[in-house]
Amino acid sequence: MVKHVIPKNLQDALNHLYQGDYHVIAGGTDLMIQKRNSADLPPLFHSNMLYLINLEELKYVMKDEAQIKIGSMTSLETLLHHKDVPELLKEVIKEMASPGIRNMATLAGNIANASPAGDSLVPLYLLDAIVVLASTNQTRYLPIEKVIIGPRKTVIQANELIKEIIIPIPHFTQTSWVKVGGRFADAISKVSFAGAVTVSEGIITDFRIALGAVYMTVIRNRAFEKSYKDLSVEELKNQLPQILTRYQELIKPIDDQRSNKNYRNQVASNLITDFIQKI
C-alpha cells in the first residue's frame, strides 16, 4: 500500500526521507503527467509520496547585496511578480506553461525533473545558480551543472530534497532570452537560448551563453566564454565564425516529435549570431 504523507515542516520532511523510501512531489505539474492513469482515475503512484508544496518555510525570496535566495516551494507565478527576481529569469518564467500551472509549479521541480528542455534551467545555468540540497545529516551547495548529470538524471540522493536555489546578483549590461517552441507559451522548447554580456567602455568583461534542448543537458562552456573576455565588441563580432564552429561542436541535438537535428543545429547558430550581432 502506497503511503501519502504531508509533512508538518521541513524537519519532518527530512526525517521521513531519512527513515523511509519516499518520492517527493512539489507542484506535481510534471509528476502528475508522468504518473497519469486511465481517464477518470487518479494518478498511479507506485512509491510512497511526500508532499512538499504546503511547507511555508520553503516559500520565500530573500535578497542581500550579493545574492538572491529562493525557497524551493515558491511558485513560478510568485517569482514572476517578485521585485527581487532577476529580470532574465522572469522573462523565462513568463513563457513557461500558463498561469494556472505556474501557480503550482516550482523551480525545484524543473531542476529535479532534469529535462534537456526544462526552460528555467537555461537562465539558472547562465546565472551560476547554486542548488542547496538538504538531508538530516548535511546541507550540500552545488552549482546547477553538478546537480543535473543527464536527461532525467541528477545527483540528488534518496534522503535529500532541494531546499533553496541561490542566484548571485547579476550585473550584465545586456541579456537575451529566446524560446523556440510550437507556440508562444505552454509549449515545450525545441531550442532555447540565453545570453548575457557586460561591456565596460567598449570592452567585454563578462560573456555568457547557455543553450537548452540541443544536448543531454543545458550547454554552457566557461572556457569558451573566458576566451572572449577582454576583447572589444568589434573584436568579438569578428570572431563570430569561430564562435559558431566551437559551439557547433558542443551541440548534439536529437530528432524527436517536436523537431529534428538539422533544424535545431541551424536555429542554435542563428540565435548565437543574433545575440552577438546585437551587442
Ligand X SMILES: Cc1cc2nc3c(=O)[nH]c(=O)nc-3n(C[C@H](O)[C@H](O)[C@H](O)COP(=O)(O)OP(=O)(O)OC[C@H]3O[C@@H](n4cnc5c(N)ncnc54)[C@H](O)[C@@H]3O)c2cc1C
> What is the contact surface with ligand X in residues (CB under 6 A)?
23-31, 33, 52, 72, 96-97, 101, 104-106, 108-110, 112-113, 118-119, 156, 161-162, 186
Query: Nearer to ligand X by C-beta: 26 or 144?
Result: 26
Select the residue whose beta carbon is closest to ligand X and give its number: 109
> Please, are residues 32 and 43 in contact by the beta-carbon 8 Å criterion?
yes
Order across the sheet with 139-143: list the strands.
61-63, 67-71, 161-168, 130-134, 139-143
Of the pair 5, 203, the CB lying nearest ligand X is at 5
Kindly tell me which of 26 and 272 has the beta carbon lying closer to ligand X: 26
CB 133 within 8 A of CB 139: yes
Q: How far is the CB of 97 from ligand X (least distance, A)?
A: 3
Q: How far is the CB of 249 from ligand X (least distance, A)?
A: 26
DSSP H stretches of helix in 137-186: 144-147
Cβ atoms of 216 and 122 closer than 8 Å = no
256: which 3 cell numbers?
A: 524527436
What are the cell numbers at 150?
543527464
What's the closest the beta carbon of residue 266 comes to ligand X, in angstroms?
22
Nearer to ligand X, 113 or 217 (CB): 113
For residue 118, the minimal CB distance to ligand X (Å) is: 4
